[in-house]
Structure 1
């Protein structure tokens, strides 16, 4: 098989990982359902906190990178579905708004929120102190990073020892930052070759998986939720070692819009308290990633 054919086959497998050919966490075939586990009613007290410009248009525009199953991906009909979609729609409903999800490149989403292109962003963003300098973040989930390799670990890699190994990461992700700011400085300090190029960077998580499946890289580092989903969906990838750097994930909100941040945080907490949140995570088999309390700007690192 030619290199091009191998790449095309791997890309097709990665599309399947994205949700177009995955049986899914609910055990059925085809696309994932878009409707959340329950439809919570509008909370008048929370709706009163919604800024006037959002009330006027009656909806909230939410940016997401629809290549990150199961958090967000496109189903067979091209609709954006996933954990964040179900949760985002439930939050918007509590606030008396419709939710409109916009597919966007991950590394441009925060800038888009800052520029007013999007009202919010939900794409499993890790809450970090650095990001909180640019935007406000409402925590709603926990996740970490994980290393994945092709099944059988043909290159006999160790998740903690990737110096000199070609590794795929998504551009703008905390995993890309981890390679550049933590892993490679450690490699150099130990006199070992760094991960080339601070990692092979791709715009989409499906492209990261495709590069690994095609053998263009020997490993990938991604959010542990995405790695777990890719393992189940492809049958050709395995996680190497455990998860690390587990931290809160957060909804991204324009910096200083305290009223909106308060409304979103209180809506998330209400969903947690009444069980809607738990039912949504249960639908996607992600109960272990649940939080019991939502806070504004709760980064731990």
Structure 2
């Protein structure tokens, strides 16, 4: 039965479930840690990235990439933030590496998103105040001023741009992950017809799947059955047991899992903004508070000095690099 009704809403936990942490630990100790390079031409497979062959550091001692303060950029930070000396960074912290997740100590937030937060703060001459919250609560924290920036795989959308400012730092690509040797290749809507597909509620990938189902039904095809999952451990268990045929989620997370598990592969990759626009991930700030210009210059400085590429390389997501950070680019259209 097609689940095209109102999606079930799950609250994202602010601390990872223990079974999810166990999944990450198990994967990290039983596989050669190389990341799959996912192309935009929907190739099925998991070619290893040469740049990530030595593996990931999942410990609390991250030995992060750092850079120097740039006074002329730091001077553009709003005075209230400069006076307090910290950059309050909020984001989701669940169990989906390599973006933003808990280290092996179960309490330290690590990942590529966290590394970018610290690098941006370096340029701005600020200390990082890192917090985690449910997805929706991150926007509330920005609205209330409890946090200065939201850095957690946030896609630029036209609706969000009405209330927030954005500075891009990564391409927004989605991956369709399936069991290894399943024979499933996904190049468009017709390829998910009749499949059981897992997705996280309230995401852009859910919206894309729903739109694909509408197109398939209009074309006389069977819709996919959309099933909702809250945690990485849940949807990977469902995929491994055959309860779902595939999972549609962020490309970096799927690439990380493919490389570590050896039990799944990427059946197709897509822009997170749909067919007509390349989606982009960005730092989010409160609109017109004066911070986004400094953030934007900081990111472009990181691109220029090479530390940006080092972070992408460290987490095996170099294929999602942007050439330049842009303020408030075209975003995912309103539904």
| TM-score (ref. length: structure 2) | 0.76
Q: Would you say 1:260 and 2:327 are equivalent positions? A: no
Distance in 1 of aligned mates of 2:129 and 2:53 = 24
Q: Would you say 1:283 and 2:314 are equivalent positions? A: yes
Structure (1/2) with the larger strand percentage: 1
Q: Aligned pair in 2 of structure 1 residues 76, 166: CA closer, same or farther (>3 Å)?
A: same
Cα RMSD for the two superposed structures: 2.8
Secondary structure at the aligned position of 2:130 is classed as strand
Distance in 2 of aligned mates of 1:83 and 1:186 = 35
Distance in 2 of aligned mates of 1:17 and 1:144 = 26
Show CA shifts across 1:58-90 (max 9, x none).
212212223331111211123111111111101
Distance in 2 of aligned mates of 1:251 and 1:62 = 10
Unaligned runs of 5+ in 2: 1-16, 34-51
Q: Aligned pair in 2 of structure 1 residues 216, 115: CA closer, same or farther (>3 Å)?
A: farther
CA positional deviation for 1:237: 1.4
Q: Aligned pair in 2 of structure 1 residues 73, 21: CA closer, same or farther (>3 Å)?
A: farther
Q: Would you say 1:211 and 2:216 are equivalent positions? A: no
Q: Aligned pair in 2 of structure 1 residues 281, 29: CA closer, same or farther (>3 Å)?
A: closer
What is the total number of aligned residue pairs between the two structures? Answer: 287
Please name the residue that 1:228 is paired with.
255
Of 80, 93, 97, 2:126 maps to 97
1:139-154 alignment, distance < 5 Å: 139-153=168-182
CA positional deviation for 1:126: 2.0
Show CA shifts across 1:99-151 (max 9, x none).
12222333443343233332211112222223222321110111311111112
Distance in 1 of aligned mates of 2:286 and 2:312 = 26
Show CA shifts across 1:30-76 (max 9, x none).
62552332x22222222222223322332122122233311112111
Structure (1/2) with the larger helix percentage: 1
| TM-score (ref. length: structure 1) | 0.84
Secondary structure at the aligned position of 1:149 is classed as strand
Q: Would you say 1:73 and 2:101 are equivalent positions? A: yes
CA positional deviation for 1:206: 4.3
